[in-house]
Amino acid sequence: MKNGMKIAIRMLIGAIIGFTVAHAAMEGSWQMDLQPLAYPVTLVLVAASVVSVLLTVYYYLKIRKSAGIELYGEDEDLAEGRMYRQYSDATLAGNLGMILGLAALSLIVIAGQSGWLALIAIAAMLVSVAMTFIMPGLMKKMYPERRFPSVSDKDYAEKLLAMSDDGEKHVMLGGLYKSFLSMNTLLFGAILLLLFYSVMSGTSQLVGIFTIAAIMAIANTQYLIHIRNK
Amino acid sequence: MKTRLKELRARHGINQTELAKRANISRQTVSLIEREEFMPSLLIAMKISRVFGEPIEEIFQFDEEELR
């Protein structure tokens, strides 16, 4: 009964969205001027990028401090678990900082905005890139007994995967599989959104649509060929 | 699969980090096995069995249903 209700609500929401979109398309009077939004959106993106990068640095310093403390018994386990989560948070913040910085920089260039915002966005991206090289060094402090490959090694990512044990691979596989499935759905949605935007605003988004379609085709082919040939 | 890992650790007075170091695996893996969220490979099971000096089947126990 509960499931039936959920499906009914979803169908109702879908129908409302579908009707609204179709109605707007038939009217053909839909206009979208994003130019006035460019400056505030850039400010938000740059600020978010800077905050993300600062978070990475903060976690980096925190882990470095914690890694030097000697603990015993359950305290050691709790501290290790905390450091592991902080390392993941730092990596996520660094990646987000880079993505948001790039989005901000793109908007600044396209909308022809002020140079100082571009400088901040570039600085945030550079710090973020530097952190991706510095962070793996922390792993050696966190787990001195393990032999991690050097970041400068050829095939660093493959070597890191190879030295992970089965439990770590199990966790990675779960995360990667989920993100692969959601990435497919989200990119598919992005194509539909760009198509809708192109039709409604009269501004072609074909380059974006073809780029996303190519990324989806390559990623899916790579994944399925990997599975098929095992 | 049920595991006696936590009980054996307590009996030997070692924490997860120490067991991970002795078995040459990650603490994350020890934690996953104890929470019964991950069935260890034969290699990891052997490593753990050596640390405690107990046979694998004494540490990891399966229901009859699972073995069918």
pLDDT at position A27, please?
66
CB distance A76 to B17 below 8 Å: yes
pLDDT at B52: 96
Does the beta carbon of B26 lie under 8 angstroms from any beta carbon of chain A?
yes
A16 and A40 fall within a common domain:
no
Nearest to A168 among B21, B26, B40 (CB): B26
Q: Which of B17, B18, B29 has its CB closest to that of A166?
A: B29
CA B39 to CA A28: how far, in whole Å?
A: 58
Per-residue confidence (pLDDT) for residue A19, from 0 to 100: 72
Mean pLDDT across A11-20:
76
- Does one domain contain both A168 and A75? no
- In single-letter form, the type of residue at position A69 comes to I
For A77, phi then psi, to 5°, come to -65, -45
One domain for residues A42 and A134: yes
Tell me, yes or no, whether A73 and A143 share the same domain.
Answer: yes
Residues on chain A touching B16 (C-beta within 8 angstroms): 77, 80
| Nearest-CA distance B56 → chain A (Å) | 17
- Domain identity same for A51 and A24: no
| pTM listed for this prediction | 0.81
Q: How far is CA B46 from CA B12, B24, B41, in A?
A: 17, 11, 9
Count structural domains, chain A: 3
Instruction: Quote the ipTM score.
Output: 0.89
pLDDT in tens, A30-80: 566 677 888 899 999 999 999 999 999 999 999 999 988 888 888 889 999
Domain membership of residue A157 (yes or no) is no
Instruction: For the beta carbon of residue A97, count every other beta carbon within 10 angstroms.
Output: 26
Residue A26 above 90 pLDDT? no
Same domain for A38 and A120? Answer: yes
- Measured CA to CA, the distance from residue A190 to residue A195 in angstroms comes to 8
Structural domain of A102:
34-147
Compute the average pLDDT of residues B37-50. 95
A vs B: CB pairs below 8 A: 48
Question: Hey, what's the torsion of the CAs at A48, A52, A57, A60, to 10 degrees?
Answer: 170
A70 interfacial to chain B (CB closer than 8 Å): no
- Across the interface, of A77, A165, A167, the residue whose CB is closest to B17 is A77
Domain ranges of chain B: 2-63
Average pLDDT over residues A103-120: 91
Question: For domain B2-63, which CATH number applies: 3.30.1130.10, 1.10.260.40, 3.30.565.10, 3.30.930.10?
Answer: 1.10.260.40
What pLDDT shows up at residue B65? 85
- Residue of B6, B22, B24, B28 to mutate, testing the A interface (most A Cβ within 10 Å of its Cβ): B28
Q: CB distance B38–A80 less than 8 Å?
A: no
Long-range CB contacts for residues A133-138, cutoff 8 Å, separation at least 24: A134/A60, A135/A56, A135/A60, A135/A87, A135/A90, A135/A91, A135/A94, A136/A160, A138/A60, A138/A63, A138/A64, A138/A67, A138/A87
Residues A84 and A43 in one domain: yes
Q: B25 and A165 in contact by Cβ < 8 A? A: yes
Contact A80 B26 (CB under 8 A): no
Closest partner residue to A167 among B17, B21, B32, by Cβ? B32
Q: Find chain A residues with C-beta within 8 A of B33's C-beta.
A: 167
A84 touches chain B (CB under 8 A): yes
Residue A16 within a domain: yes
